[in-house]
Amino acid sequence: MTHLIGFICVRLIGGCSKSSEGENEEYTKQDGDSITESRMQMDTHDLTRKLHTKNDSKIVMLVADGLGGLPNEVGGKTELEAANTPNLDALAQRGVQGLSIPVLPGIAPGSGPGHLGLFGYDPLKYEIGRGALEATGIGFELQDGDVAIRCNFCTLDENGNIADRRAGRIASELSAPIAESLRQIQVDGIEIFVEPVKEHRFVVVLRGAGLGGNVLDTDPQATGVPPLDPVATDAESEKTAEVAKEFLRQASEILKDQPQANFHTMRGFAAKPNLPTYEEVYGLRAAAVAVYPMYKGLARLVGMDVVGNASNLDEQAAVVKENWDDYDFFFVHFKYTDSTGEDGNFDEKKARTEDFDAFIPKILELDPTVVIVTGDHSTPSFLANHSWHPVPTLLSSDCCRYDNQTEFNESSARVGGLGQFEAKHLMTLALANAGRLGKYGA
Amino acid sequence: MTHLIGFICVRLIGGCSKSSEGENEEYTKQDGDSITESRMQMDTHDLTRKLHTKNDSKIVMLVADGLGGLPNEVGGKTELEAANTPNLDALAQRGVQGLSIPVLPGIAPGSGPGHLGLFGYDPLKYEIGRGALEATGIGFELQDGDVAIRCNFCTLDENGNIADRRAGRIASELSAPIAESLRQIQVDGIEIFVEPVKEHRFVVVLRGAGLGGNVLDTDPQATGVPPLDPVATDAESEKTAEVAKEFLRQASEILKDQPQANFHTMRGFAAKPNLPTYEEVYGLRAAAVAVYPMYKGLARLVGMDVVGNASNLDEQAAVVKENWDDYDFFFVHFKYTDSTGEDGNFDEKKARTEDFDAFIPKILELDPTVVIVTGDHSTPSFLANHSWHPVPTLLSSDCCRYDNQTEFNESSARVGGLGQFEAKHLMTLALANAGRLGKYGA
């Protein structure tokens, strides 16, 4: 062990001293912006973009979705505290922990902003529109310039007014072929994709030149009134609104004899978000090892490669191992701490937390330079929902400042060395601990 | 107790799950602002405005003015630590505490910014001009468009130069009738109010169309020189400067035979600040239960109703109870932890803290969903002044993450689950704990 630490130290110091000597890589502001202006526009990527250096370190970020929890009663334990997690506790002794605030105090995020924060993208600056997230969530690979639209089948009465905004929540078996029947719709110069989602939901993606994403919903949010026409809110989206209108015209013909789903609304028009990549902002070749399409999609949006086709933690560990030499950064996503929390099932969340703990050694045996364990938000089974509570987060490396905690959970994280911090700062800490960040200023 | 938690759980889960199902209430950005622009302008209200939902929860914010303190010597106790506060300590066991930073580290605020922060209004973004605060402090109800001016009687010598900038700190009994004599001043098209304050101070409020608040002080901050003319610093305030000049001309006639107060200066010209209301940014019907005019006035500026006419804590508790069904949010203000601190009287501050503690059960018996105990700043008797030290702050609800503290004071708050946070985030936490905030993003 001494020998191992010695070896890693040398490697780290190599990375660090390179950056401290590399004057060219120091961040120097060349433009003439006023301080206020630059401060207002500054985000962490403006630093990492200029300060990052390369070395042979490996960073692994293990995301247990919805990790944070609550006790069921005063004086009780959270799911993570109740779980038997010997591996996480051992890692805590070689790491530093704290509480990460996904967005801002009191704000419960969805999966999109929750992961953007962990990836180091300010979730208040970067927004993934509803349509783009929905397309991402079903594994559709958006391309630059695509506009994704979330659609709901609805039922119109004989006067053309909406009688049911969700077509009676029509069963997926019925709605999928109906959605697929809309694939016959053709609009000049536009490639159109129609993908069924669940029940009354489907996604339409428009691909073609000159399509903006700023078009208002056609769902009037009420029954007894007709659907609205799509209306662009900027000049760049006029063409999108025209295409959508033509799509709706043809859809109304195709659907008119359906008993329930005789029309549809369009919501959450969204261009593919234009996020800088991990390679650009961190200099990292990044791989995502996830089971669910949503998380693969989110990782793809920041330029990660989605590797392997794992369907459980064992397979995910194997995929990380197989790809170890080809990437600098691995994002590994575990879903079931969130889904069991959302089910309000304390015992199941605790059990899935233990599954996650058992997986930790398989990553550690690869000898990563930096390991991070965190969640994109809390999902206390007590609330059966995403919540705003800050998330226990653990970072282990040979140059972290150990904080003398012997367990990893909400109570330890509360008094841990990372304090409370906005999640968007986590990637900077990861890079620093990997010896991949130069000095700011001379 | 189990039953109670069960009941409240259902209520909260109702509030929280509503947001996850309430698709309409998800935050969707409709405008076409560039991302950078939206981040620069983003404040917490941009989130709460779009994410807030309604339910039947009740939030009570108990503000012990100047609550935070200091020990008199190394190793000693603060006023709050020395006080016997069984009710606050019991509440700490069912809550989560932390230290709220009123503005920024090291910044000691006045009452205005201190309360704006607690109310969730960024005190660096929103400023209440000195004149407006002074008018508010004496209970004058400013209307939109009003311009308030803080005036000081002064003594001019035979050459028209200022001999005493405060007219010898003339006694209030003498100065009040002199101020009232200025009510005879008339300016075409302008309604003018003159209100005595204390000693050499009085307030003038101008009401009429087209009055801007940006006029420079006429006080030259020196003796042996004449007072300055009022000068507008923008076009919108030219008329204000003209009116002020005419007021001064007439005042000089009226006052010319006074032995001490033979003229006056004008300072801190300020339009009524244009603050968004609690109803708009939080969806809360808010009531203020305060004894002193300043705090009633501050609450009014953010759209709270000032209810009751209480003159002590017992009466304040009764007023809260009487109005319980009509409001979602109650701000209760207690002055004497500040005034005793400003007097430098440790024992008195400790005793008033105990009075405040004794009042807590009267609020708890109303069964609020969320109770917050905090202060607008620290007023250590050791300094006999407002200070920058962060303020012990306690939040209790059935879905807070309890932090195992058994007391409420500076030392407990330092290791509490809320960590250290800017006061402006407190209202977001209150809303979240009340189940009144939807999820940010999908």
Name chain B contacts of A104, Cβ cutoff 8 Å: 44, 47, 425, 428
pLDDT in tens, B303-343: 999 999 999 999 999 999 999 999 999 999 999 999 999 99
A62: contact with B, CB 8 A cutoff: no
Are B69 and B349 a contacting pair, CB within 8 Å?
Answer: yes
In the prediction, which pLDDT does A24 show?
34
Question: What superfamily would CATH give domain A44-126+275-433?
Answer: Alkaline Phosphatase, subunit A (3.40.720.10)
Calpha distance B1→B96 (Å, rounded): 19
State whether A386 and B28 contact (CB < 8 Å).
no
Residue A374: is it exposed, middle or buried by C-beta count within 10 angstroms (0-12/13-18/19+)?
Answer: buried
Q: Is the pLDDT of residue B153 over 90?
A: yes
What are the CA-CA distances from residue B102 to residues A177, B40, B268, B287, B423 (Å)? 58, 22, 23, 22, 5
Q: Is the pLDDT of residue A431 over 70?
A: yes
Residue B139: pLDDT band (50, 70, 90) is confident
**Mean pLDDT across B369-392:** 98
Calpha distance A417→A412 (Å, rounded): 10
Calpha distance A275→A420 (Å, rounded): 26
In the prediction, which pLDDT does A12 show?
37
Which residues, listed in sequence order, are joined to residue A395 by a DSSP beta bridge? A96, A372
Q: Is the pLDDT of residue A225 over 60?
A: yes
**Mean pLDDT across B161-186:** 96
Total-model pTM: 0.86
In the prediction, which pLDDT does A48 show?
97
B24: contact with A, CB 8 A cutoff: yes
pLDDT in tens, B246-304: 999 999 999 999 999 999 999 999 999 989 999 999 999 999 999 998 899 999 999 99
State whether A108 and B420 contact (CB < 8 Å).
no
Q: Is the pLDDT of residue A33 over 90?
A: no
Q: Is the pLDDT of residue B13 over 60?
A: no
State whether B441 and A74 contact (CB < 8 Å).
no
Name chain B contacts of A126, Cβ cutoff 8 Å: 35
Which of A125-134, A306-315, B35-44 tops mean pLDDT?
Answer: A306-315
Expressed in percent and rounded to 5, the helix, strand and coil fractions of chain A are 40, 20, 40
Q: Is the pLDDT of residue A182 over 50?
A: yes
Residue A400: pLDDT band (50, 70, 90) is very high
Name chain A contacts of B39, Cβ cutoff 8 Å: 41, 43, 122, 124-125
A41: contact with B, CB 8 A cutoff: yes
Q: Is the pLDDT of residue A6 over 70?
A: no
What are the CA-CA distances from residue B173 to residues A129, A184, B151, B254 (Å)? 65, 88, 17, 18
Lowest mean pLDDT among A49-53, A290-294, B149-153: A290-294
Reading the block at residue B18, the tokens are: 């509503």
Q: Is the pLDDT of residue A193 over 80?
A: yes
pLDDT in tens, B193-243: 999 998 999 999 999 999 999 999 999 999 999 999 999 999 999 999 999
In the prediction, which pLDDT does A41 show?
53
Calpha distance A201→A26 (Å, rounded): 50
B391: contact with A, CB 8 A cutoff: no
**Mean pLDDT across B368-397:** 98
In the CATH scheme, what architecture does the domain B55-126+276-433 have? 3-Layer(aba) Sandwich (3.40)
pLDDT in tens, A235-263: 999 999 999 999 999 999 999 999 999 99
Q: Is the pLDDT of residue B174 over 80?
A: yes
Residue A383: pLDDT band (50, 70, 90) is very high
The amino acid sitting at A171 is: A
State whether B399 and A382 contact (CB < 8 Å).
yes
Burial per residue of B346-363, b for 16 or more beta-carbon CB atoms within 10 angstroms, e otherwise: bebbbbbbbbbbebbebb
| Closest chain A CA to residue B43 | A124
pLDDT in tens, B394-408: 999 999 999 999 999
Q: Where are the domains of chain A?
A: 44-126+275-433, 131-271
Residue B42: pLDDT band (50, 70, 90) is low
Q: What's the half-sphere exposure (Cβ side, CA atoms, 13 Å) at B117?
A: 26
Are B294 and B174 a contacting pair, CB within 8 Å?
Answer: no
Selected residues 338-357 of chain A with any CB under 8 Å from a CB in chain B: none
